[in-house]
């Protein structure tokens, strides 16, 4: 059935010449693997910044009447923490970073569809990050990462810079989304049908349209806020006929799908990790792939659940409530399928596996509190409190970030050819896991008990729990720092990993580590899903990849 790597002379065989010189190789590279690593490094640096800001939040909240910084500084701090973590850490890491590094190889391609676009999209990202941080020079934005007007209309000049910077990151994301979509639709190796794609590719495939569509909608909202601030065009100003609620609609129409941008690739990662370390096929392949699509589609229809207290018409709230609750069903299908994948496996608890299991537990908790919030009457009490902060840190810090860390421990050998230190890795996991729960679990009851979010000072009865949180946040930070150190040390000193240290079955593990610039000497053909551990590998045409045979000749331009 499957044709053995036919020499088509088409795009699949089009090979860029090996990049020469430092600049073309590591700076303005058009090689998807290098670009992926560039994304990861940049996002890692921003993660340190945003994490430092988080620790500043926790320092301020050590005492009921604050005192670590002024309320105005505090407001810029949590605004920048939220904005950075969402737009400059998690989204670039999961899409641009891991997506670029792994996805094209997993589908058996030599690069993404538009390598130049890929490079441009990447370079927009650090530039806009610098722009965002340069807003500190002119008065940083201080109205929260959601920047609700009219508050954001009063904000310092840096708020306009915030608009411009986030707009630019968005342009980069949109490009990445288009690029990935075309890549996955058009550049799969022969025999790689949709039902044979690795689930990480499915994750990226479903995320790409979200990146494209939702991010463009955000771009419109940001442009409108920008011209309102700079030219007085009254989109959002109630005294001139505009509507503050319009912004909320426009913003959440992006930002709800954005939360799935932050989680679907992570779902994909752990769908790769569980089978690999359980020596067992993923349970319910089709349902996992299909439920991702359901989540993405439903994700566009629920944005107003962030606005239940804002004065939207009551009759409108009900459909949003019910649709939001429905998302629990496809997500539940995934959770249960992963649990069933664990059942009956031979589980090896490497660091990547630990992070994935942690993901499963913590994301479930965050997801369940999400369903609580979807119930309008409960949200009337919980909205705008620390309960919300607890919900989303469980799904983001417990879900997305843990997924990313699992992915890092899993694919690091593929990036560098060296192993991360597993002992340190396990320490980092336990520190992170314990610190994470200690930091964010008490926020649930603090919120219900009466503590609003985004406050620099609070009532004294909340102080003990806040101190506990702050201490645990240091534990969590220690875990992250340990991972950073581990990466820096192992890059140079790590044990050599060989091409497939985990004995994994997707295509990227069948070629040398680090991956050569041409990925495959011959494009393989595929004849089954990669998850049948009892069967031989479902690929043909890979015989020469690990041999010394000469690399393919670049196409003449």
Partner 1 sequence: MRLDRGFWTATAVLTVLALIVIFWWVYAPITAIMPEAVDKAAQIDALYRFLAASGSALFVYVVGYIVYFCVAFRRRSSHAADAIGVQIHDSHKLEFWWTLFPFLFVVGLAIISVRIFYGIEPINMPSNSLVVEGLGHQWYYTFRYPGINGEVKQLHLPLNQQVTLHVSSYDVIHSFWVPDMRLKVDMVPGLVNTLTFTPTRTGRYNIVCTEFCGTLHGDMRSGTPNDKAYLFIDTPAQYKSWYDSQQKANANASNEIAVASSSSINLTGGDVAAGKAMFQTKCSACHAVAPFEQKIVGPGLKGVLHDPSHPNLVDGEKATPEDVAKILQNGFSGPLGVMPNQTANGISDKDIANLVAYLNSLK
Partner 2 sequence: MAVASVTQAGIVGRHHEEPDQLYVETRELRVQGFLLFMVSDLVLFSSFIFAYLYLRNTGQGWPPPGAPKLDLALAAINSVILFGSGATMHFALENWKHEKFMKFAGWMVSTIVLGAMFLSGQIVEYGKLAVGWGSSGIFGAGFFTLTGMHGFHVFCGIIYLTILLLQAAQGKYTFQKYTGLTLGTLYWHFVDVIWVVLFSIFYLI
- Which residues of this chain interact with ligand HEA, rule CB under 6 A? 47-48, 51-52, 54-55, 57-58, 78-79, 81-82, 85-86, 90, 144-146, 259, 262-263, 305-306, 324, 327-328, 331-332, 335, 364, 367-368, 370-371, 373-374, 379, 383, 388-389, 391-393, 395-397, 399-401, 439, 453-455, 473, 476-477, 480-481
- According to DSSP, the residues that pair with 385 across neighbouring strands are 452
From CA 444, how far away is CA 351, in angstroms rounded?
28
Out of Cu ion, partner 2, partner 1, none, what residue 256 binds, judged by CB under 5 to 8 A for its kind, is: Cu ion
Per-residue x/- track, 231-270, Cu ion (CB under 5 A): -------------------------x--------------
Residues 427 and 420: beta-carbon distance below 8 Å: no
383 lines the binding site for Cu ion (CB under 5 A): no
Q: How far is Cα 78 from Cα 90, in angstroms, rounded to an integer? A: 16
- Cα–Cα distance, 526 to 532 (Å, whole number): 13
Partner from Cu ion, partner 2, partner 1, none binding residue 121, C-beta < 5-8 Å depending on class? none
Residue 286 site contact among Cu ion, partner 2, partner 1, none (CB < 5 to 8 Å, cut-off depends on kind): partner 1
Binding site partner of 206, from Cu ion, ligand HEA, partner 2, none, Cβ cut-off 5-8 A by kind: none
Residue choice 40, 43, 273, 365 for contact with partner 1 (CB under 8 A): 365
Distance of closest approach, residue 392 Cβ to partner 2, in angstroms? 24
User: Residues 304, 246: contact at Cβ < 8 Å?
Assistant: no
How crowded is residue 232: how many other Cβ atoms within 10 Å of its Cβ? 10
Q: Is 297 exposed, middle or buried (0-12, 13-18, 19+ CB in 10 A)?
A: middle
Least separation in angstroms between residue 78's CB and ligand HEA is: 4
Stretch 277-316 residues interacting with partner 1 (CB under 8 A): 278-281, 283-287, 309-311, 314
**Residue 120 vs 325, nearer CB to ligand HEA:** 325
Output the smallest distance, CB 2 to partner 2, in A: 19
- Which tokens go with 544? 């020469």
**Residue 102 or 480 with smaller CB distance to ligand HEA:** 480
* Residue 452 bridge partners (DSSP): 385
233 makes contact with partner 1 (CB under 8 A): no
For residues 508 and 515, the answer to whether their CB atoms sit within 8 Å is yes
| In the complex, least distance from residue 227 CB atom to partner 2, rounded to whole angstroms | 7
Binding region for partner 2 (CB under 8 A): 8-14, 113-114, 117, 174, 177-179, 181-182, 185-187, 212-213, 215-217, 219-221, 224, 227, 231-235, 240-243, 245-246, 249-250, 253, 555
Nearer Cβ to partner 1, position 123 or 449? 449
- Supply the minimum distance, in Å, between the C-beta of residue 305 and Cu ion: 6
3-state secondary structure of 254: helix
Q: State the virtual CA torsion across 404, 410, 412, 413 in degrees, nearest 10.
A: -170
Which residues, 6+ apart, have CB-to-CB distance to 224 below 8 Å? Answer: 233, 235, 236, 247, 250
- Burial category of 344 from C-beta neighbours within 10 Å (exposed 0-12, middle 13-18, buried 19 and up): exposed
Smallest gap, in angstroms, from Cβ of residue 403 to partner 1? 16
Nearer to Cu ion, 267 or 274 (CB): 267
The answer to whether the CB of 404 falls within 8 A of the CB of 93 is yes
Nearer to partner 1, 33 or 334 (CB): 334
Contact between 326 and partner 1 per CB under 8 A: yes
Decide: is 361 part of the binding site for partner 1 (CB under 8 A). Answer: yes
With a CB cutoff of 8 Å and minimum separation 6, the contacts of 268 are 198, 199, 200, 201, 202, 203, 204, 292
Largest CA distance in the chain: 73
In whole angstroms, the minimum distance from the beta carbon of 513 to partner 1 comes to 21
Q: How far is the CB of 217 from ligand HEA (least distance, A)?
A: 17
Q: What is the DSSP string of 45-96?
A: HHHHHHHHHHHHHHHHTTSTT--SS-HHHHHHHHHHHHHIIIIIIIHIIIII
Could you give the string, one character per residue 385-424, with x where binding to partner 1 holds by CB under 8 A and - elsewhere? x---------------------------------------
CB of 309 to partner 1, least distance (A): 5
Neighbours of 116 (CB within 10 A): 11
Q: Are 419 and 490 in contact (CB under 8 A)?
A: yes
Distances (CA, A) of 349 to 141, 200, 499: 43, 20, 20
Which chain residues interact with Cu ion by CB under 5 A?
256
């Amino acid at each position: 059935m499957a044709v053995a790597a036919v020499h088509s002379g088409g795009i699949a065989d089009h090979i860029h010449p090996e990049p020469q010189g430092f600049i073309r190789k590591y700076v303005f590279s058009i090689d998807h693997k290098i670009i992926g690593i560039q994304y990861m490094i940049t996002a890692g640096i921003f993660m340190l910044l945003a994490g430092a800001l988080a620790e500043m939040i926790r320092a301020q909240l050590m005492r009921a009447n604050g005192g670590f910084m002024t309320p105005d500084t505090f407001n810029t701090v949590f605004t920048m923490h939220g904005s950075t973590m969402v737009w400059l850490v998690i989204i670039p890491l999961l899409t641009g970073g891991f997506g670029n590094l792994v996805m094209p190889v997993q589908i058996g391609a030599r690069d993404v569809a538009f390598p130049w676009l890929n490079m441009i999209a990447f370079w927009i990202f650090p530039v806009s990050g610098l722009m965002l941080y340069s807003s500190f020079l002119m008065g940083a934005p201080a109205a929260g990462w959601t920047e609700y007007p009219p508050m954001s209309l009063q904000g310092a000049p840096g708020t306009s810079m915030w608009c411009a910077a986030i707009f630019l990151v968005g342009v980069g994301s949109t490009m990445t989304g288009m690029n990935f979509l075309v890549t996955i639709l058009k550049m799969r190796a022969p025999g790689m049908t949709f039902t044979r794609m690795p689930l990480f590719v499915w994750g990226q495939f479903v995320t790409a349209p979200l990146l494209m569509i939702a991010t463009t909608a955000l771009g419109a909202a940001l442009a409108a806020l920008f011209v309102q601030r700079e030219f007085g065009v009254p989109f959002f100003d109630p005294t001139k006929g505009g509507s503050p609620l319009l912004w909320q609609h426009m913003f959440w129409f992006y930002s709800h799908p954005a939360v799935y941008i932050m989680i679907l690739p992570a779902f994909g990662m752990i769908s790769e990790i569980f089978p690999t370390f359980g020596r067992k096929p993923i349970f319910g392949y089709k349902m996992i792939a299909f439920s991702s699509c359901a989540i993405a589609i439903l994700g566009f229809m629920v944005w107003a659940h962030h606005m239940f207290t804002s004065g939207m018409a009551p009759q409108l709230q009900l459909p949003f409530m019910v649709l939001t609750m429905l998302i629990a069903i496809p997500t539940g299908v995934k959770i249960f399928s992963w649990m069933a994948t664990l059942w009956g496996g031979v589980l090896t608890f490497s660091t990547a596996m630990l992070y994935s299991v942690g993901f499963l537990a913590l994301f479930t908790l965050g997801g369940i509190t999400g369903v609580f919030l979807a119930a309008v009457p409960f949200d009337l009490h919980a909205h705008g409190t620390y309960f919300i902060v607890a919900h989303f840190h469980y799904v983001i810090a417990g879900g997305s970030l843990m997924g990313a860390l699992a992915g890092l421990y899993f694919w690091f050998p593929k990036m560098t050819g060296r192993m991360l230190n597993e002992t340190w890795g396990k320490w980092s996991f336990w520190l992170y896991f314990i610190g994470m729960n200690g930091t964010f679990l008490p926020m649930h009851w603090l919120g219900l008990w009466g503590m609003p979010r985004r406050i620099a000072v609070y009532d004294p009865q909340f102080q003990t729990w806040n101190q506990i949180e702050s201490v645990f946040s240091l534990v969590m930070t220690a875990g992250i720092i340990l991972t950073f150190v581990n990466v820096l040390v192992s890059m140079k000193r790590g044990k050599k990993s060989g091409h497939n240290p985990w004995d994994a079955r997707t295509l990227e593990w069948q070629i040398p580590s680090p991956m050569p610039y041409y990925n495959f000497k011959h494009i393989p053909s595929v004849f089954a899903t990669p998850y049948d551990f009892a069967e031989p590998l479902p690929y043909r045409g890979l015989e020469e990849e690990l041999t010394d045979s000469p690399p393919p000749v670049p196409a003449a331009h």
